Structure 1
Amino acid sequence: MVERARDETGRPRNARPRDALGRPLPPGSDGVPRIPDDLHLSPSGFLASAQDLLDNGFAFHAHEVLEAAWKDRPSEERPLWQGLAQLAVGVTHIQRGNPAGASALLRRGCERLGEVARPAPHSVDVDGLVGWATDLIEALGSSADIAPTRLRRPLTTG
């Protein structure tokens, strides 16, 4: 049996390459670049990186960025980052053709985002995202557009 790669604390790390939808590929395969486990960005950096990945169809990788945020940011922000990461995993399940998994993760993400104080930190459009995810859950199985809404509210001028 091959020993799994582990970090300095002994936690297992999956070093296998992954495809664009985050599925593991055989060892030695070319995959898409991985998101580092120890990513440290500003809140705006995490959001911008995740949004860029979502905009380009890399929901699994956006989830990894948002997961890094929930591990890096203060504990009082955990429901925000965890909820966002769960929504991204829900989209990943849609991309992989798993509507049941998508629905479960989108519901969990909405529940976590329901715990976030309003107005949400970092101008995250929590209410808009929950509304979008709720509509998506209802539309699963139809030909609904799954393009994620923006993570942050548009800047207003004036």
Structure 2
Amino acid sequence: MGTTSSGRAADARDRDSEGRARNARPRDGLGRPLPYGADGVARQPEGVVRTPDETVAEAQALLDAGRPFHAHEVFEDAWKSGPEAERALWRGLAQLAVGLTHAARGNVTGGARLLRRGAGAVEEWAASEPGRRHPYGMDVAGLVAWARELARAVEREAGALDAAERAPRLRGTP
């Protein structure tokens, strides 16, 4: 087994306390791995159970800060820990955040595809039952319109965009 320039075993894998593989490399604000030892952005803790309102507020703060990858992790926690009836909503919101992440990284195809997939998932969830247009104060129709317009813009502009500048307002305009 060789070693890397950081002194780590080349084929060793980072593991959590249960032995599951976890990448401990630092990451930048868009979630891209940085070299071991580099200064990165603090990672979102995994498996945090939040109320829906806490989820929306924390995700919005991360989106506003230009950190959609980290917002995706907050939505993913809600998707995995929330009630079954809401999992499609949180999964769709996570896809929107990942779409914005890819668009900010300059990945035109992946960004546009995930923005559209997330918009479709959120829209389908909202249409499945009456009264789902404004879950936890979020404007589903507004988010869907934002995502579809951003997908078109990503394809038109064909370059990396500023994630903070293009972040959605989960609960409409402030």
Q: What TM-score do you get using the length of structure 1 for normalisation?
A: 0.87
**Whole-angstrom distance in 2 between the partners of 1:132 and 1:57:** 16
**Whole-angstrom distance in 1 between the partners of 2:32 and 2:138:** 28
Is 1:57–2:66 an aligned residue pair?
yes
Structure 1 match to 2:101: 92
Q: What TM-score do you get using the length of structure 2 for normalisation?
A: 0.80
Question: CA 1:12–1:51 in 2, change beyond 3 Å: closer, same or farther?
Answer: same
What SS class does the counterpart of residue 124 from structure 2 fall into? coil
Structure 2 match to 1:47: 56
Q: CA deviation at 1:5?
A: 2.5
Structure 2 match to 1:147: 166
Q: CA deviation at 1:59?
A: 0.9
Q: CA deviation at 1:115?
A: 2.5
What SS class does the counterpart of residue 125 from structure 2 fall into? coil
Structure 2 match to 1:21: 30
Extract structure 1 runs of 4+ deviating beyond 6 A. none
For 2:15, which of 6, 11, 24 is the aligned residue? 6
| Runs of 5+ unmatched residues, structure 1 | none
Question: CA 1:151–1:99 in 2, change beyond 3 Å: closer, same or farther?
Answer: same
Structure 1 match to 2:113: 104
Is 1:126–2:145 an aligned residue pair?
no
**Whole-angstrom distance in 1 between the partners of 2:171 and 2:93:** 11
| Runs of 5+ unmatched residues, structure 2 | 1-9, 127-131
Q: Comparing 43-52 with 136-145, which one deviates more in the overlay?
A: 136-145
Count of residue correspondences: 155
1:34-77 CA-partner distances (Å, limit 9, x unpaired): 00012121111111011011111111111111111111211211
Report percent identity of matched pairs: 54
Contact 2:109–2:155, Cα closer than 8 Å, also in 1 = no
What SS class does the counterpart of residue 134 from structure 1 fall into? helix
**Whole-angstrom distance in 1 between the partners of 2:138 and 2:104:** 24
What SS class does the counterpart of residue 32 from structure 1 fall into? coil
Q: Comparing 11-20 with 143-152, which one deviates more in the overlay?
A: 143-152
